[in-house]
Amino acid sequence: MSTEMQNEAEIFRGTTSGETRFKDHRSVRGTPRAGMPAFVLGEELAELAQTDPRIVVATADLASANRTNDFRDAHPERFFDFGIAEKNMITAAAGMAACGLVPYVATFASFAAILGAEQIKTDCAYPRQKVRIVGTHSGMSMGFYGSSHHSLEDIGMMRAIADLTVCCATDANHLRALLRISVDHPGAMYIRLGRGRDPQVYDAVPELAFGKARRLREGADLTIIATGSTVRASLDAAETLAAEGRSVRVVDMWSIAPLDRDEIAAAASETGAILTVEEGNITGGLGTAVAEVLVDLPRVPFLRHGVPDRFVEVGPPAALYANYRLDAPGLTAVAREFLG
């Protein structure tokens, strides 16, 4: 290998010793809990398992990255690491569910929803097995790792599977609530998480019901319907717009399937326009789901905002959010343009 090629390899693997750093040093393995304040997955499941012997947890060589090691430490006999065998993990979880257990299987969303789509459909959703597939590091939050690790298509793919509940966690308190109501919910489920560094939206653990959105802010000029990582940015954008005299409602559409059609209808009749925001491909995602409801209602100005139908660049997640206007300043600009 030439010296030039060697240097390039070091840069793109993030091993360069110079000032330029292309890799987040807190990424993937061994990330401390303090670095991922929204990752309470293992901790909450460990607490639930104290009184529910049915709960088991599996991962695919990512116990540190998704903090399921917190569950492993509390209940080692009920924890399974399948190594890099995500499809096998999902199928095995379906077998566990058929025996009366409630398995939570966690890996990167790109490997859970996209790589494991067939197993989720055939082994979990079709026989209505109580498997909870937890896709972490969703959207483009794995920015440096490229398209193989980005999951921009998972919402669209998962909501197209019959008898599969699909939902997105907003922050740590929301995830706790979601996990608590997931245990006894019938059938299979896909739970989409961010990268674990998601800013707080809920001050306390909220009351949740599948198919019921959470209206977080009232407004009359515009309704922003957001999910997952985009909820905090939407609230911040609404605050900025309020200072400019714009009245903006913000809805956390955390339950994608089933969808809260009544909340969408209320936005269409009570506010002047609707803007959907998602960290993912707008083709088939949250925006499409909302559009499928709006097509049967009186017309209202409507815009889908997210990642256009393309593969995103490789780079720091924050830079990608800014580039696709999925941060608060970007969403503020999008709303201004939309409202004219």
Structural contact between residues 42 and 134, judged by C-beta atoms closer than 8 angstroms: no
Average pLDDT over residues 54-60: 96
Among the ranges given (10-19, 123-132, 201-210, 266-275), the one the predictor scored with the smallest mean pLDDT: 10-19
Give tens-digit pLDDT for 86-100: 999 999 999 999 999
Residue partners of 223: CB distance under 8 A and separation at least 6:
248, 249, 250, 251, 267, 271, 273, 274, 275
Ordered by start, the domain boundaries in the chain are: 31-192, 214-339
31-192: CATH topology is: Rossmann fold (3.40.50)
Same fold, 31-192 and 214-339: yes
231 has pLDDT over 80 = yes
Structural contact between residues 165 and 185, judged by C-beta atoms closer than 8 angstroms: yes
> Which pTM does this prediction carry?
0.89
pLDDT band at 308 (very low <50, low <70, confident <90, very high): very high
User: Per residue, what are the HEC states of 275-308?
Assistant: EEEEEEECCCCHHHHHHHHHCCCCCCCEEEEEEC
Of the two residues 239 and 25, the one the predictor is more confident about is 239
What type of residue is 248?
V
Give the closest residue to 187 by CA, choosing from 156, 166, 208.
166
214-339: CATH topology is: Rossmann fold (3.40.50)
Residue 34: CB atoms within 10 Å: 7
Q: Where are the alpha helices (DSSP H) in the chain?
A: 3-12, 41-49, 69-74, 86-98, 109, 117-119, 154-159, 172-182, 230-243, 261-270, 286-294, 317-323, 328-339
pLDDT band at 38 (very low <50, low <70, confident <90, very high): low
pLDDT of residue 36: 55
Look at the block and give the residue holding tokens 């393309």: 310
3-class DSSP assignment, residue 182: helix
Distance CA 336, CA 9 (A): 43
Give the closest residue to 152 by CA, choosing from 35, 313, 292.
313
β-pair type (222-226, 248-252): parallel
Residue partners of 222: CB distance under 8 A and separation at least 6:
241, 246, 247, 248, 249, 271, 272, 273, 274, 275, 335, 338, 339
230 has pLDDT over 80 = yes
3-class DSSP assignment, residue 229: coil
4 has pLDDT over 80 = no
Give tens-digit pLDDT for 232-264: 999 999 999 999 999 999 999 999 999 999 999
pLDDT band at 195 (very low <50, low <70, confident <90, very high): confident
Give tens-digit pLDDT for 135-193: 999 999 988 888 999 999 999 999 999 999 999 999 999 999 999 999 999 999 999 99
Distance CA 141, CA 7 (A): 26
